[in-house]
A and B are shown apart, each in its own frame.
Chain A
């Protein structure tokens, strides 16, 4: 069964029927937002059932949109938290990627600014590495990007997408060895992105990120995970009751190769390890459970089939 990432937008009225329908189809609801009278669902549903969902949600004026980034956690790295880099362009990118279904985290570096003095601390590096992909929002000068890039790629083992003021070709030229993706013409600016060319740049970022993540998906498909992260999320929500006391809007964040559980590591990790996915198969058997550098959350990375010999 191939699951497709979608966003459902509709009214609150009878939306529980949609929730039930997605579950009955064998799909997973990754995020649910209720904003006033509107419900927004980020979900993974079987490809063959998209039309059924469309037909059933039509009387409820629901809308089903393909959202390529559902089920991914992306780090948006801003060079600092100063007015120079925030809120534009960092927040604009983070916000736009959310509309495509991604769970984005903004990381403001402590000392990322400057071509010579820019630094990436070990804590920042580790937090970035917990994501599926990182987007570096660089400035407007080729010289600076060229000089600071080695510092920012050191120790990073997830795909890097670079955005910057110079054109995409110029970025490709100055960054050596190459990174996973480039979006040029989107460097430092101090105004809100609302003009058509700027919005189209944001679309370019979404498509570049999707392209890179598709590559990562095919990599994973070569040696599939022992459990789908979306299913793992479902199991945790069902069998770990404490998760429902978490006030965070997304208590279990689905990533491409694991989940982030927003419960403190020390009291809950051992318990989480023992949770049974299926008879005789526990979460501990099919995944690595380790403390996250983000607060004191638990990071669960699913092991591949070749490692466990299990597929649940």
Chain B
């Protein structure tokens, strides 16, 4: 866990906390969210019981546009896209079919897309947004926290705003407003920087 700027797992039972630190580091690595996570603090009190995770994400990459992963050539009314990275091929095809219709989009081979477009339609092809990397980020982060959290903690609440996220879970009913709990953990994390 060298790459996290701050990583702390604390518990009222220190031995248990240490074991949860190992669980957290395994899960974070397995779920491949190290690249987006900058700071993470987890607090567990099995007596209450409560699990609080607070964290800050790294600056996430900007939107993926067509020119990021394909080369564009114009040949008369034909626009040819040569795909370099197949990752975004499926969402791109969906978008093009929706915008121009399936009959005008041809895919002669795996890495080539041919489009028959009117001159005004050719404008801004390079700039079409194909994917938003932050879209799945919140889901991934929260899923990771759910896996780290003890399974009995079924009552959950979470939030993700402006690169800051928190996840609170308990086996019992959670208090109406969990903000003070979360703020306390954010303050400890902030104070350690």
Min CB–CB distance A126 → chain B (angstroms): 24
Of B27, B47, B172, which one neighbours A143 at CB under 8 angstroms? B47
Min CB–CB distance A89 → chain B (angstroms): 11
Contact B13 A116 (CB under 8 A): no
Stretch at the interface among B18-26, B67-75, B134-142, B183-191: B18-26
**A111 nearest CB neighbor, chain B only:** B152
Contact A191 B26 (CB under 8 A): yes
**A167 nearest CB neighbor, chain B only:** B15
Given contacts A80-B151, A167-B15, A189-B19, contact A115 B171 (CB under 8 A): yes
A29, B124: Cα distance in complex, Å: 75
Count residues of A near B (Cβ-Cβ below 8 Å).
Answer: 27
Of A82, A116, A165, A166, which one neighbours B171 at CB under 8 angstroms? A116
Q: Size band of the B side of the interface? A: 20 to 34
Contact A144 B154 (CB under 8 A): no
**B30 nearest CB neighbor, chain A only:** A190
Of B19, B26, B47, B151, which one neighbours A187 at CB under 8 angstroms? B19
Given contacts A115-B46, A141-B46, A142-B16, contact A189 B23 (CB under 8 A): yes
Min CB–CB distance B142 → chain A (angstroms): 14
Interface string of A180-209 (1 = CB under 8 A from B): 000000011111000000000000000000
Min CB–CB distance A43 → chain B (angstroms): 39
A41 within 8 A of B: no
Min CB–CB distance A53 → chain B (angstroms): 43
Contact B171 A117 (CB under 8 A): yes
* A interface, over-half SS: loop
Contact B16 A141 (CB under 8 A): yes
Interface string of A44-85 (1 = CB under 8 A from B): 000000000000000000000000000000000001101111
Chain A residues contacting B26 (CB-CB under 8 Å) are 189-191
A165, B22: Cα distance in complex, Å: 12
A139 within 8 A of B: yes
A87 within 8 A of B: no
Q: Using a CB-CB cutoff of 8 Å, which residues 66-110 of chain A contact chain B?
A: 79-80, 82-85
Chain A residues contacting B30 (CB-CB under 8 Å) are 190
Chain B residues contacting A191 (CB-CB under 8 Å) are 22, 26
Chain A residues contacting B133 (CB-CB under 8 Å) are none
Chain B residues contacting A117 (CB-CB under 8 Å) are 152, 154, 171
Contact B19 A188 (CB under 8 A): yes
**B11 nearest CB neighbor, chain A only:** A141
Contact A143 B13 (CB under 8 A): yes
A8 within 8 A of B: no
A118 within 8 A of B: yes
Contact A82 B151 (CB under 8 A): yes
Q: Using a CB-CB cutoff of 8 Å, which residues 34-70 of chain B contact chain A?
A: 44, 46-47, 49
Chain B residues contacting A166 (CB-CB under 8 Å) are 13, 15-16
Given contacts A116-B171, A142-B13, contact A165 B151 (CB under 8 A): no
A-B CB contact pairs (8 Å), 29 listed: A80-B151, A83-B147, A85-B151, A113-B152, A114-B150, A114-B151, A114-B152, A114-B153, A114-B171, A115-B46, A115-B49, A116-B172, A118-B152, A139-B150, A140-B15, A140-B16, A140-B19, A141-B11, A141-B13, A141-B44, A143-B13, A144-B46, A144-B49, A165-B16, A167-B15, A187-B16, A190-B30, A190-B147, A191-B22
Q: Which 9 A-B pairs have the closest CB atoms?
A: A114-B152, A113-B151, A141-B46, A84-B151, A140-B16, A113-B152, A140-B19, A190-B26, A143-B46
Give the B-binding residues of A (Cβ under 8 A): 79-80, 82-85, 113-118, 139-144, 165-167, 170, 187-191
